[in-house]
Amino acid sequence: MSETTEGEVVDKKGYKTSIIWKWFGFLKTDEAQDKTVCKLCRRSVPARLGNTTNLFQHLKTYHPSDYTESMKMRATTSFPRRPTAAVSSASGAVPKQQSIVSYFASVAPYDTTIKKKQR
């Protein structure tokens, strides 16, 4: 964990796909939102590319009661996924990827009666 940071902590911009963002944010002066800051103790916690593992570990180590609460919320809270371009119906259901076995079962078999062209 890093140094203690001063200044107002604001919420993460954009999608919040993890409950952990209730306890973490970014300094108001950090426009690029590069350094994650704990809202409870103001320590800077590395969270490269949005990886939240270090954030949960920080809560577990320094704020055990909040960590317990986050685990309960994590088990019961479902965050919406980012919108996708491929939506199969008006209900908003995203089609599942077909398994390789079902794909090969659905295609026409190779025609073995066709003769190869001789060179």
The Cα 77–Cα 79 span in angstroms is 6
Order of all β-strands in the sheet with 24-27: 9-10, 24-27, 36-38, 44-45
Nearest to 62 by CA among 95, 93, 39, 91: 39
Answer whether residue 33 is part of any domain: yes
pLDDT one-digit tens code per residue, 87-102: 445 556 667 788 888 8
Total domains present in the chain: 1
Print the domain residue range for 23: 9-76
The Cα 60–Cα 50 span in angstroms is 18
pLDDT one-digit tens code per residue, 45-89: 988 877 889 999 999 999 999 999 988 888 887 665 555 544 445
Min mean pLDDT across 3-12, 22-31, 87-96 is at 87-96
The Cα 85–Cα 68 span in angstroms is 36
The Cα 9–Cα 36 span in angstroms is 9
Answer whether residue 119 is part of any domain: no
Answer whether residue 2 is part of any domain: no
Answer whether residue 16 is part of any domain: yes
Answer whether residue 103 is part of any domain: no
